[in-house]
Amino acid sequence: MTPVLAVSDVHKSFGGIKAVDGVSFHVNEGEILGLIGPNGCGKSTLFNCILGQLVPSSGEVKVDGRITTGMRPCDINRLGVSRTFQLLQVFPKLSVRENLILAGQEHRGNMLSRLFGASDAGVGAEADKLIAFFKLDHLAHEQAGGLSYGQQKLLDAAMAFIAGPRLVLLDEPAGGVNLTMLGDLKDRLFAVNRELGVTLVVIEHNMEFVMSLCSRVVVMAEGRVLAVGAPDEVRANPAVIEAYLGH
């Protein structure tokens, strides 16, 4: 079976700094893959290379067997790959519902139908469903900028799911989210994975969160892949322990 995402030998340097230094891994259909590693090891840069925010210096990224290196982020997104960012990235002056409609509208119809057709581009019902799914009902018409941090995180995640993606890359979804909401978030991520069959790749520093969520974990250090395996295997790997705890 073709993997949903295949990354082969991706390099990215900024001047003399090798942020990503020959990373290869793949993501199978339906799995939840964790991507962990110390700060500055190149996880987010790798995400940006996969999704077109950055162009890799060399190497290749394939989505469903199709080469996507060099494509624009909006075109990669329309192939059914979406993401969240490490820092909050909602549209503060739009309402929660408008944020979600925006996240879905470009996947429906064409430029003309989006100009002359319905104001919600036909994704209003979908937006309402996701608002309920992520338990944001009471906030649907509030400006996104007025929500609490945790609520914005949920909205941010919801936006990645509205267009019915096959693959979602989440950059630190649990960062700064309190314990109760963390449970909610994990529960929602399991649900989209099982019920909607969405494949997930998650960058996260919260070990407990990653280990309980993911079926497989890729560990990065200094721009390279250090280890790949099931959570328990990885946790017991001496190289991983050293990378995290230092000498």
Q: Which residues bind other proteins (CB under 8 A)?
A: 51, 53, 72-74, 77-78, 82-83, 85, 89-94, 98, 101-103, 105-107, 111, 114-117, 119-121, 159, 163
Shortest Å, Cβ 195 to other proteins: 22
Nearer to other proteins, 49 or 159 (CB): 159
Shortest Å, Cβ 170 to other proteins: 12
Q: How far is the first Cα of the chain from the last one, in angstroms, to the nearest whole number?
A: 41
Shortest Å, Cβ 169 to other proteins: 10
Distance, in Å, from the CA atom of 103 to the CA atom of 160, rounded to the nearest integer, reads 7
Contact 222, 216 (CB under 8 A): no
Distance, in Å, from the CA atom of 146 to the CA atom of 33, rounded to the nearest integer, reads 32
Nearer to other proteins, 165 or 231 (CB): 165
Distance, in Å, from the CA atom of 145 to the CA atom of 89, rounded to the nearest integer, reads 10
Give the helix/strand (H/E) hosting 213: helix 207-213
Shortest Å, Cβ 120 to other proteins: 8
Q: Is 150 helix (H, G, I), strand (E, B) or coil?
A: helix
Nearer to other proteins, 141 or 247 (CB): 141
Nearer to other proteins, 103 or 192 (CB): 103
